[in-house]
Amino acid sequence: MQNPCSPNVFVVDREIYQRQYTPLSCNDVLLKLKPEYNSRYEIEDLASAIGQSTNVLHVIDLPDAGYKAITISNSPTISIPYQELFNITFNLPCPEYILPVRQDVVSPSNPQGIAGLRPTAHDIFMTILGQVANLNGVALVDYYEFPDYNALVIRLNDPNHPVLGDGRFLSDQIEQQNSTGHIAQLEWSQIVPNSVKRTVPSNDTAAGGGQGTTTRSGSNEVQVNADIAILDTGVSLSHPDLNVYRNVSFVDGVASGDDDQGHGSHVAGIAAAKDNSVGVVGVAPGARIWAIKICDKLGECKVSDQIKGIEYATKHADEIDVLNISIENSNSPALNNAIKEAIKAGITVVVAAGNYGTDASSSSPANSPDVLAVSAIGDSDGKCGGGGPPLEGSRGEIADDSFAFFSNFGPSVKMSAPGVEIFSTFNGTSYALDSGTSMAAPHVTGAAALFKAQFPDASPAEVISNITSSGTLPGATCQGGPGGYFTGDADGLNEPLLIREFRPR
């Protein structure tokens, strides 16, 4: 719903509680370049030419593996230029299968070799990709190369295809994906949202101070010296309140990391909206944002695309400090394995607990053991005591300083933060109120960025330990400020509540 404000303010009306997972949509056409043309044509050039008359979804270029292919949208009036160059498969079937490769197979010490030369892990993986991709009845969707995790994603015309029994893959970890995951007039001088009042330092030194924590630009904006990756619907590239440093898209047919849905921009603003005298201010103001778009304009997020985004972040682990994933999926060991690789590379991963109102152990990535999973509370006044007005949840009121009924809970959850009616940046240059554990997670992401700005060499485990140990627990004294705790914790495990006085130990 849009209000007559300038800039625009939206009250986001989306179903967040126990939202059902959407089946994968499969109505596309695979164009495999015929082997005799592999050395004569660049697949990107062909995709550009074909894209003039039809919608190109995905391009895979594996010259070392002898495989080049384009996926395009199907339609009753489809016309395929240069079709004589391709082997064409219409109506590729669902689901997607994620096949992890056994590490001993891709190990450089593997005895396979050519003319006595020992192939690298990359060489072996490329060989496997080419062999599988060129099998009859197989369509290669994507592939991932982490230091200790290699996998490929395929679609099959036969659910009993023999490739599923190929001994090079971990048969007990082959994952079948049938559905997508999904995302969980104000005064126009700059305001600090109540949720952020409760969770951000009260001044530049409240997060520990010291050299390197913040800098100021020529316009006197506070800029936290840290990099936050937002794995989401993208982030608005035109919003004056967001410092988007890099952007990339892994959504088929979408070229940039610009946000066409709003969710990722809202998450980014909570974590890092600029302290620039207008709009809102985030927990880690002005931190550099990496917009990694892996969800489409409907907020649907294929697991295979999420893993591709995590792979991208991992390859930039020397720059990215914190990765925020405000997405919920059914359990996915493949996704969790990719996240494990990002954490091993030094990235602190903060995730939403999920919005099913149940134990988070069945939801990825919240059940990934080394992430910082965040539940949601309602906080209407930015201070403790429960004296603020009630908030509107997706199915009723949520009392001030109480656990949100929609929030997942359980042993996987390590922290809680405000997540109801949170005010933040949105699409274009607008702002919005939105709710969900999606909104709780970036409060903690901002706190992690503040810590990394002061202690850039801190490991993910050290970041998580310091943030969680700084939160409040039941029995914390409430003196009218941001201290205290919340009521109604669904499981009685009492995860720490992030507060304004967060200080590195």
Comparing CA positions, the residue from 388, 392, 402 lying closest to residue 485 is: 402
Q: What is the pTM of this model?
A: 0.90
Comparing CA positions, the residue from 292, 309, 288, 286 lying closest to residue 245 is: 288
What is the predicted pLDDT for the residue at 210?
Answer: 37
- Residues ≥6 apart with Cβ < 8 Å to 31: 50, 69, 70, 71, 72, 80, 83, 86, 87, 88
Comparing CA positions, the residue from 323, 144, 153, 151 lying closest to residue 232 is: 323
Comparing CA positions, the residue from 307, 348, 297 lying closest to residue 329 is: 307
CA 216 from chain center: how many Å?
A: 29
Can you read off the two tokens belonging to residue 279?
A: 């709009």
What is the predicted pLDDT for the residue at 195?
Answer: 72
- Please give the sequence-ordered ranges of beta strands (E in DSSP) within 19-116, or none if there are none: 28-33, 56-62, 67-73, 86-89, 96-100
pLDDT in tens, the chain (505 residues): 545 555 677 777 777 888 889 998 888 899 999 999 998 999 999 999 999 888 898 899 998 888 999 999 988 888 888 999 999 988 888 899 999 999 999 987 655 554 556 788 999 999 999 999 989 889 998 999 999 999 999 999 888 999 999 999 999 999 999 999 998 734 445 667 777 776 755 444 333 333 345 554 445 566 899 999 999 999 999 999 999 999 999 999 899 999 999 999 999 999 999 998 888 999 999 999 999 999 999 999 999 999 999 999 999 999 999 999 999 999 999 999 999 999 999 999 999 999 999 999 999 999 999 999 999 999 999 889 999 999 876 567 899 999 999 999 999 999 999 999 999 999 999 998 899 999 999 999 999 999 999 999 999 999 999 999 999 999 898 988 888 999 998 778 889 999 865 544 4
Comparing CA positions, the residue from 298, 241, 184, 247 lying closest to residue 424 is: 241
Can you read off the two tokens belonging to residue 169?
A: 């893959």
Quick one: residue 421, left, alpha or beta (phi over 0 = left, psi -120 to 50 = alpha)? left
What is the predicted pLDDT for the residue at 185?
Answer: 38
Separation of alpha carbons 300 and 267, rounded Å? 16
Q: Which are the catalytic amino acids?
A: 232, 263, 438
Torsion angle of C-alpha atoms 109, 115, 116, 118, degrees rounded to 10: -20
Bond prior to 365 in cis (omega within 30° of 0): yes
What is the predicted pLDDT for the residue at 109?
Answer: 67
Separation of alpha carbons 106 and 104, rounded Å? 6
Q: What is the DSSP letter of 281?
A: -
What is the predicted pLDDT for the residue at 200?
Answer: 58
For residue 229, give the H/E element and its range: strand 227-232
What is the identity of the amino acid at 232?
A: D
Q: Are 322 and 448 contacting, i.e. CB atoms less than 8 angstroms apart?
A: yes
Comparing CA positions, the residue from 343, 338, 293 lying closest to residue 311 is: 338
Separation of alpha carbons 120 and 129, rounded Å? 14
Q: What is the DSSP letter of 136?
A: T
Can you read off the two tokens belonging to residue 234?
A: 């993208």
98 CB burial (10 A radius; 0-12, 13-18, 19+) = buried
Q: How many CA atoms lie within 13 A of 486 on its CB side?
A: 37
Q: Are 26 and 57 contacting, i.e. CB atoms less than 8 angstroms apart?
A: no
* Domains within the chain, CATH numbers bracketed: 28-177 (no CATH), 194-470 (3.40.50.200)
Q: How many CA atoms lie within 13 A of 213 on its CB side?
A: 20
CA-CA distances (angstroms) from residue 375 to 262, 347, 482? 21, 21, 18
What is the predicted pLDDT for the residue at 16?
Answer: 83
Q: Are 241 and 269 contacting, i.e. CB atoms less than 8 angstroms apart?
A: yes
Neighbouring CB atoms inside 10 A of 203's CB total: 8
In degrees and rounded to multiples of 5, residue 320 shows phi and psi of -80, 130
CA-CA distances (angstroms) from residue 109 to 100, 113, 149, 187, 428? 19, 10, 16, 64, 51
For residue 214, give the H/E element and its range: strand 214-216
